[in-house]
Structure 1
Amino acid sequence: MKKLSELGLTGKKLVFQGILLTLLGLILVFTGVKLPTILIKLFVYGLLALGGIDMLLRVFKKIPSQEPIVVSILKLAFLLWLAGTDMVTDVPLYLFGLLMAVYQIFSAAINLITYALYVKDSIRPRMRLLIDGIWLAILGFSTLLASNANANFQFLYLGLYLIFYGLSNLRDGLFFEKELGKNSLKRRVRVPLPLAVAALIPLGTLNKINAFLLENSEETASEAYDIVKENSGASDMTVFVHVAQDGVHAVGHLDFAYRDKVYGFGSYDPSSEHLFGAMGDGVLFTAKKEEYIRFCNQDGLNLLAYDLVLSEEQKTAVEQKIREIEEWTYTWQPSADLLSKDKDGNPQPIYAYQLQSAIGGQFFKFKSSKFKSYFVLSTNCVLLVDSVLGSAGTAILSPKGFIAPGTYQAYLDREFEKPHSLVIGKKVYQASPGS
């Protein structure tokens, strides 16, 4: 392990982030609502002080103001009343508890739905999903029913999350340089970002690229976001993050290419879908890489591509995993009779049929395995990429097993910052104009 002074910029950043998050988590664990209560009161006292200073300056005509003095007096009186009542802290703490409860119930639902799918498909192990679903549901509903929203317990919950997330960052930072050039197949569990945060990452990246292009109109997205490490050699594998400005693709979608062949997973059979399309039969597809990129761009999708280089041992592991997944499948033929609607509400052939007709994509359903049933919040597109790339020893594995596309993108971005990691390049394939 290198000394902090020898770490690269990203390593230092991760170390300091880890320390700060861990300390904040410890404070919340041991103080509960005390720290948030103090911070809220300090905020209100600060507003009160600024309002008092503003009033004094107006009285002595030191500054002009377009706000009627009666309004300023009423605002100051309200702040004085607010500072003297418990409502100033009780309401924010109660709302925080409610938000945490909703998130816990949401997480419980993901676990329990996934457990039900595993039972249906005879997938084991699965008991952890049931246990997690039950205790999260109990915690969430008990918080909703409590008069004080279990604020102390919820801050304990948040504190523990920050501690584990901080320690995960601290570990990554301290071993940031040591892992350079290391081709280990060992998987590491890491604490993921909350789903609500991870969902914003793909669109956030696209918005940054678009903002850059507005200021640098002479460049294209491919020129502005095409970075390859020096002396890195040819890539063996590419992970694609699909993103669009609106619709379901705003939260991202993942697939990957190995040896110029794209592999993707999703719910591509509308006749099997239910729960508003969130569940259905799991479908694997394959297509030629370059043709697939053009097809996606013409369909209005931007592809954020991350190129990886693999050792011979990792290539063997990846190929073995792909063969294993293919052995679980049987050929499925998309029907021309199945119709969906385009963005204008007009009927059109389903996506799978379009992909097959346009570029010869092949589709397969599953006889068994976790891929047999698709669920947008667990057994989703990320499961395929993580299963295959995970065989090469990537460290993205979540203790819950649920990974959002944005979490995976954040991991790939972090790996790219390492001078000698598996991720050697990234670029964008921009959606065709008018698509």
Structure 2
Amino acid sequence: MRRTSLWAYVVIAGAFMLTGALLVLFPFEQMDFLLQFLAAYLALTACSKFWDQWRLKSSIFKGEKGSFPYLLALGYLLLGLVIYWQRSFLVVWVVKLIGVYQLGLALLNLFAYYLMRKDQVPSRWGRLAYAIFHLIFGIGTILTPFQGYRALQWLGIYLLLIGLSYLKDGRNLWALPQTSTPRWTWRVPLPVVFSLFFPQKVLAQTEAVVQGRISLASSDLNPGRDADVSIPAEELALSKNKNLLVQIHVGRDRYSRVGHMNVAYDGIVYSYGNHDAASRRMMDCLGDGVVVLLNHQEYLDYYLSHRVTIIEYEIALNEVQRLALEAHFARMQDQFVPWYPQSTQQLKGFAGNIIRQTQGKFYKFAAGKYQTYFLFWTNCVLFSEELLRVCGFDVFPLVGIQTPGTYYDYLERQRRQNQSRIVARRVYNRDLRNYLAKSKVQKL
């Protein structure tokens, strides 16, 4: 299986790197080729769907269930034809979209700078510089053809870096561990549009296992498919119950689809978010930053009762990392201001439920950037990432929009490596738990 995984990494890395290199050397020509490839892919998909329906002898006269697959296939075919015949026009719009994306990042970072300035955060100037860079680049890409040429070249360089990240991960599948304390190095994340819904794959596999469509042994939920652990046994014994836990949430409602990210240590979950319902504004994108400290088992019980799936990665820490993390928690708690939900709106929301059903405690921040929650900057991902960096894990550069899916993709790749410090992955799902319990009883 490891050899198969290695070749998968090589193929993915090669595709990214080849596409990136061609975009750098021949920007417009390569983009034209990519659009032709996309048109061909859509046309072949349409033909495949028509063929599948013909084999199943579905009739277009059977009503909605019978006609929908044909209409979907026809939609694929028409979209492919439009892309093929309008390639030259679409290349220009791809460039414009890159510019619009840059402008969007500029506006988000300008707003993040405003919030950091309001909260008197010393490190706010980096956000301002980042915003100005994207503003200049975005305006130039939209207004001038020459900048559009450069935009495609920058896209090519970005794809090259993604390919190198995959190649490095593939190499580490076979690399022998050289040290018991490897450092997680800088890497380039996938675009947010691809990584946003990655955790949904776990939910889909869970449902497939419960419904009997696939077996647990053949799914990625099987604990036996975890990576080999290359950490010395004596170090694992020392760090027992003192490891760092990273939790990725996923569910079916509109908020849980994107996911949530927490960090837990020494039996306590640290969950940061927009938990004060009375302070929420801008369609819940902005509000007072609130962190809840909650017993690990209580946290799991609460979310499983609300049909949320939690993917948990256990990361082994050495003594130096544990001391650094504990010192950071101590500094963080100096900024804590106890907060209690009091209004009807607060008591009806998440905070009220936690107070009634658990022993969790809520805190706001007296200073620092986490005083204000902002969905596209000071969110649960940034909060958790800062704790990872305290332990010496340089995971991602603080650029773009980071989502729980970004870290799901990274942690899934990391746990398969020989030098991984991820010693376990656990999937908590109420339906899966009930299914496994029922299967165990039936075997008895």
Q: How far did residue 366 of structure 1 move?
A: 0.6
2:440 match:
none
Shift in alpha-carbon separation, 1:185–1:46, aligned structure 2, 3 A: closer
Q: How far did residue 352 of structure 1 move?
A: 0.9
Shift in alpha-carbon separation, 1:47–1:259, aligned structure 2, 3 A: closer
2:91 match:
93
Judge conservation of contact 1:244–1:302 (CA < 8 Å) in 2. yes
In 2, the alpha carbon distance for the partners of 1:278 and 1:201 equals 22
**Does structure 1 residue 197 correspond to structure 2 residue 191?**
no
Q: Tell me the percent identity.
A: 26
Relative to structure 2, which stretch is displaced further, 266-275 or 232-241? 232-241
3-state SS of 1:339 partner = helix
Judge conservation of contact 2:142–2:148 (CA < 8 Å) in 1. no
Deviations 1:1-52 (A, max 9, x none): xxxxxx966555445543442332121112110123245568879999xxxx
In 2, the alpha carbon distance for the partners of 1:317 and 1:278 equals 32
1:34 match:
29
Structure 1's unaligned 5+ residue stretches are 1-6, 49-65, 67-78, 341-347
1:280 match:
287
2:345 match:
339
Judge conservation of contact 1:93–1:151 (CA < 8 Å) in 2. no
1:408 match:
407
In 1, the alpha carbon distance for the partners of 2:13 and 2:217 equals 36
Q: How far did residue 178 of structure 1 move?
A: 4.5
In 2, the alpha carbon distance for the partners of 1:246 and 1:307 equals 26
Letter in 2 for 1:18: A
Judge conservation of contact 1:282–1:366 (CA < 8 Å) in 2. yes
3-state SS of 1:425 partner = strand
In 2, the alpha carbon distance for the partners of 1:352 and 1:43 equals 47
1:214 match:
211
Identify the match of residue 269 of structure 1 among 257, 276, 294: 276
Shift in alpha-carbon separation, 1:221–1:324, aligned structure 2, 3 A: farther
2:158 match:
161
TM-score, structure 1 as length reference: 0.77
Letter in 2 for 1:98: K
In 1, the alpha carbon distance for the partners of 2:114 and 2:161 equals 29
2:133 match:
135
Q: How far did residue 274 of structure 1 move?
A: 1.7
3-state SS of 2:412 partner = helix
Judge conservation of contact 1:329–1:364 (CA < 8 Å) in 2. yes
Letter in 2 for 1:27: L
**Does structure 1 residue 297 correspond to structure 2 residue 301?**
no
Q: Following superposition of structure 1 onto structure 2, how do residues 49-198 of structure 1 map, counting pairs within 5 Å?
A: 88-145=86-143, 151-175=148-172, 177-178=174-175, 180=177, 182-184=179-181, 186=183, 188-198=185-195
Shift in alpha-carbon separation, 1:106–1:211, aligned structure 2, 3 A: farther
- The two structures, once aligned, show a CA RMSD in angstroms of 3.7
Letter in 2 for 1:160: I
Deviations 1:151-194 (A, max 9, x none): 42331121121122223333444455557374447563221121
In 2, the alpha carbon distance for the partners of 1:36 and 1:294 equals 49
In 1, the alpha carbon distance for the partners of 2:128 and 2:263 equals 31
Q: How far did residue 287 of structure 1 move?
A: 0.7
**Does structure 1 residue 376 correspond to structure 2 residue 368?**
no
2:71 match:
none
Shift in alpha-carbon separation, 1:249–1:182, aligned structure 2, 3 A: farther
2:50 match:
none
In 2, the alpha carbon distance for the partners of 1:166 and 1:104 equals 22
3-state SS of 1:379 partner = coil
Identify the match of residue 306 of structure 1 among 308, 313, 325: 313
In 2, the alpha carbon distance for the partners of 1:42 and 1:241 equals 35
Judge conservation of contact 1:382–1:403 (CA < 8 Å) in 2. yes
Q: How far did residue 411 of structure 1 move?
A: 1.5
In 2, the alpha carbon distance for the partners of 1:272 and 1:185 equals 42
In 1, the alpha carbon distance for the partners of 2:147 and 2:272 equals 40
More helix by share: 2
1:257 match:
264
Judge conservation of contact 1:97–1:149 (CA < 8 Å) in 2. no
3-state SS of 2:393 partner = coil
Relative to structure 2, which stretch is displaced further, 391-400 or 188-197? 391-400
In 2, the alpha carbon distance for the partners of 1:119 and 1:195 equals 27
- How many residue pairs end up in the alignment? 387
1:52 match:
none
Shift in alpha-carbon separation, 1:164–1:322, aligned structure 2, 3 A: same
1:18 match:
13
Structure 2's unaligned 5+ residue stretches are 44-58, 60-77, 433-444
Larger Rg: 1
Letter in 2 for 1:299: H
3-state SS of 1:365 partner = strand
In 2, the alpha carbon distance for the partners of 1:163 and 1:194 equals 13
TM-score, structure 2 as length reference: 0.76
In 1, the alpha carbon distance for the partners of 2:349 and 2:37 equals 56
2:334 match:
327
